[in-house]
Amino acid sequence: MTRPSGRTPDQLREVRITRNFTRHAEGSVLVQFGDTHVLCTASVEEGVPGFLKGKGQGWLTAEYGMLPRSTHTRMAREAAKGKQSGRTQEIQRLIGRSMRAVVDMTALGERQLIIDCDVLQADGGTRTASITGACVAVHDALQGLVTRGVLATSPLRDWVAAISVGVYQGVPVLDLDYPEDSECDTDMNVVMTGSGGFVEVQGTAEGAAFSRQELNSLLELAEGGIGKLVALQKQAVGK
């Protein structure tokens, strides 16, 4: 088995994390997993939605979008169609849950973090790149609150990163790109914390059902990949 990219089964694509990619957001990160490029911003707003008012805790929500021509053939613009697809909603809910797992809402206080992940160029794995980049954007936005004296310490309790794994031509491989993704029998997205706990595990049999043993191999690959991603996140912020 040879991967279309020539990578070894447990090899990540080249990952780059560029901070302060745009000016206005409190955290702004361009994350690149090979040819998948996502702009992740974290915005801080004072106040929380109505159902949380007066409860002394913060809130975090996430939105996701793809630029119409981030893909091989142009997709219709969701704003023009007047609705977000089921896939978009599924992904933005996943990003939100992943980030809420590592932010201490009580320490955040009555303010809101809004994460926007917008795909500039897609080549598979946009949701895992989004989570990995968003965590750095959230780090920067929260650090900004500390720097400006709003908070004494950052409410970010741990790192969180995500990677896809799948069975390609019978072999478990890490970090699927688009040519692999479209031919995989089994496809799994794994979200883990820096300290090695699972936040989300989502595996789907695209063709034949998968066995417990395949599941185990895929989880091991993912654990290794996420360890490397967290190291890159720390390096990006100079830790």
Rounded CA-CA distance 185/82 in Å is 33
The crossing angle, in degrees rounded to 10, of helices 126-147 and 212-236 is: 40
Is 107 a binding residue for a second copy by CB under 8 A? The answer is no
Following CA atoms 132, 134, 137, 142 in sequence, which dihedral angle do they give, to the nearest 10 degrees? -110
Is 79 a binding residue for a second copy by CB under 8 A? The answer is yes
Is 164 a binding residue for a second copy by CB under 8 A? The answer is no
State which residue, 140 or 152, has the beta carbon closest to a second copy. Answer: 140
46 contacts 108 by C-beta, under 8 angstroms:
no
> Residue 47 CB, nearest distance to a second copy (Å)?
13
The residue written with tokens 């955290």 in the block is 27
> Residue 100 CB, nearest distance to a second copy (Å)?
9
Q: How far is CA 159 from the centre of its chain?
A: 11
State which residue, 79 or 152, has the beta carbon closest to a second copy. Answer: 79
How many other CB atoms are found less than 10 A from the CB of residue 144?
Answer: 17
Question: Which residues are part of a known binding site for phosphate?
Answer: 87, 125-127
When binding is defined by CB under 8 A, the residue of 4, 14, 55, 90 that contacts a second copy is 90
Q: Strand order in 15-19's β-sheet? A: 15-19, 27-33, 36-46, 111-121, 59-66
> Residue 106 CB, nearest distance to a second copy (Å)?
13
Q: CB under 8 Å to 130, separation ≥6 — which residues? A: 31, 38, 40, 64, 91, 95, 117, 119
Rounded CA-CA distance 12/170 in Å is 19
- Residue 136: name the closest of 67, 207, 52, 234 by CA: 234
> Residue 186 CB, nearest distance to a second copy (Å)?
8
State which residue, 152 or 209, has the beta carbon closest to a second copy. Answer: 209
List the interface residues with a second copy, window 41-70 (CB under 8 A): 41, 43, 45, 63, 65, 67-70
Is 217 a binding residue for a second copy by CB under 8 A? The answer is no
199 contacts 191 by C-beta, under 8 angstroms:
yes
State which residue, 44 or 173, has the beta carbon closest to a second copy. Answer: 44
When binding is defined by CB under 8 A, the residue of 1, 24, 49, 149 that contacts a second copy is 24
When binding is defined by CB under 8 A, the residue of 2, 152, 208, 239 that contacts a second copy is 208
Site for a second copy, rule CB under 8 A: 22-25, 28, 35, 37, 39, 41, 43, 45, 63, 65, 67-74, 77-80, 82-84, 86-90, 92-93, 97, 101, 114, 116, 118, 120-123, 188, 192-193, 195-205, 208-212, 215, 219, 223
